[in-house]
Amino acid sequence: MHIEFRIKALIEKVAENTRTFEYAFLSLGKENIKATVKLLKNARYLERDIVKQCEKFRKKTGVHPTWIKVDIVTETETVLFDDVVWDMVNTRRNYIDFGIALDKYWNLAFLPEEINANAFIRPDKNDKSRFVFSEENINNYLKKYTNQTKKYTYNFYQGKEVIKFYTQGFIHDGEAVYTLGDKGLTKNLREVSDVHQEIDRLLIGSTQFLKNMMNDNGKYNYGYFPHFDKNISFYNNLRHASSTYALIEGLHYQGEDISVTEKALDYLINHYLYDIDGVGYIYDDTNGANEIKLGQNAAFIFAICEYLKVNPDNTSYLNAAQKVAKGILPMIDQETGSTVHVLNYPDLSIKEQQRIVYYDGEAALALLRLYQIDGNHEWLDTVKLLFEYFIANDYWQYHDHWLGYCTNELVQIEPAEKYYRFGIQNVSGYLDYMKQRETTYPTFLEMLMATYHLVEKAKNTGYAHIVEELLDEAKFLEVIHIRADYERTGFFYPEIAMYFKNPKRILNAFFIKHHGYRVRIDDIEHYISGYVQYQKVFNR
């Protein structure tokens, strides 16, 4: 679309949604550079000034901006600098929804997007539990990405008055104009008319992103910290397997070929399958760990099972999953159902009796998924044994999405009242927390959707009284839809990605905002899995 038409469409959207204003910020960007931000001080000439700045952008970069974003200043408040800094460092990391102008002429002013994306608030180097307003990061931004020559110093502003402000944002992303959230937890979230259509768009983008994270050898690029475009150098074979599971799920939901995931499965089989006389273990040697984790074995099995749902004739994959299932059995006490979480590789001695409680749910789900493919009752009997342990030890209190999946599938095979009670308790006392939780926490949606199926099954098999006793069904459905829409705040739309060092690297990924906007394969995994389950039920 021609630049003039795009600007005109943007101006019309601004005019529809705002009355009078004094100041506006203009952010211009494209995929391979951080956005430039310019304060426009004369509202009467907004269109003229945007055209002028777009031409400047073209002269400098050779092309017009792909993304044109306008933030109208809607509220201002004069406050002490020390008070606004206290406010920022005590706000959850990267959740600041207001900007600051450090002088009355607005010569040095920052949008909340600039504050968050450039890590102006960061953990103290000497005490990671507290946060500071970083002189270093602010000056780095001023020097590299603005025309400011003046250096920012914290001491200069102490005791002085500054301006705290809020904005209403609008963006033309190259295809259409969107109004963006103005305040609070949905600040900058684009308004859409059809949330299901939008979630499908997000699934297409994020599944493709995860697919592109895979290298030719089947190993993934593990992830990025986008503030300064840094790779995450660590690796984890458990997350490799569970992310492959989600990638299969996402591709299949979209009707795409899943054969690309064979590289990821083969990577584990060829490099990390430890086979001792037909008993298999997936080990991990990251940073010299040399260990076998119960959850790692489990994730490998349910990734294979997800593949076999689509391509059931691959006997070599089935054989590999069955070997690893045999390796899981000795890690479960066959009398009590208690588990061992970590073994040393290669001698199989116990390294840690317990590490992460979620390994247990993963193990149960893996064996149950494998039983549904090969019909081996040894796997099912072990799952039932595990559930006796889970029920006796109140595992519902851990609100584990893997156990949500597993309970739902177990009642399809054996619809016993104790399983329904356990599965519904997994969420029933947690609804208020999930409804109000300010981080996206994508496993919530996975757990809610697994429980949705469990509730429907209970009502259809004579156990409606359990649902009535344990669950406020109207609130339950409300929380499902709230979480599904809210998770969009964890997606790198252009209006968020444009403020980072390398937008192209992160565009269409999901992220965890309070962990430095971290993009990691398993973060993307949980968003994809939850959204696929949500769309299958509610996107009619």
Does 28 share its domain with 81?
yes
CB atoms within 10 A of CB 528: 28
pLDDT at 443: 97
Does 233 share its domain with 323?
yes
Residue 228 lies in a domain: yes
- Residue 294's contacts (CB-CB under 8 Å, 6 or more residues apart) are 328, 331, 339, 340, 341, 342, 359, 360, 362, 363
Residue 427 lies in a domain: no
Domain boundary among 191, 208, 242: 191
pLDDT at 1: 67
Does 227 share its domain with 326?
yes
Q: Domain total for the chain?
A: 2
Residue 144 lies in a domain: yes
Does 233 share its domain with 370?
yes
pLDDT at 90: 94
CB atoms within 10 A of CB 388: 12
The answer to whether the beta carbons of residues 506 and 492 sit under 8 Å apart is yes
**CA–CA distance, 359 with 364 (Å, rounded to integer):** 9
Does 170 share its domain with 49?
yes
Domain boundary among 170, 191, 212: 191
Does 219 share its domain with 177?
no
Does 371 share its domain with 237?
yes
- Residue 44's contacts (CB-CB under 8 Å, 6 or more residues apart) are none
Residue 458 lies in a domain: no
Does 348 share its domain with 213?
yes
Does 112 share its domain with 17?
yes
Residue 483 lies in a domain: no
Place of tokens 């900007």: 99
Residue 241 lies in a domain: yes
The answer to whether the beta carbons of residues 373 and 305 sit under 8 Å apart is yes
Beta strands in 87-157 (DSSP E): 99-101, 109-110, 121-123, 131-133
The answer to whether the beta carbons of residues 345 and 281 sit under 8 Å apart is yes
| pLDDT tens sequence across 463-497 | 999 999 999 999 999 999 999 999 999 999 999 99
Residue 407 lies in a domain: no
Residues lower than pLDDT 50 in the chain = none
| pLDDT tens sequence across 396-410 | 999 999 999 999 999
Does 83 share its domain with 212?
no
CATH number at residue 525: 1.50.10.10
For every residue of 412-446, DSSP letters joined together read HH---HHHHHHHHHHHHTTHHHHHH-SS--THHHH
Does 173 share its domain with 287?
no
**Domain that includes residue 135, residue range:** 3-191
Domain boundary among 191, 220, 238: 191
Does 61 share its domain with 107?
yes
Show the tokens assigned to 50.
Answer: 């945007």
Return the closest-CA partner of residue 298 out of 341, 344, 248, 253. Answer: 341
**CA–CA distance, 279 with 272 (Å, rounded to integer):** 13
Residue 411 lies in a domain: no
**CA–CA distance, 296 with 273 (Å, rounded to integer):** 11
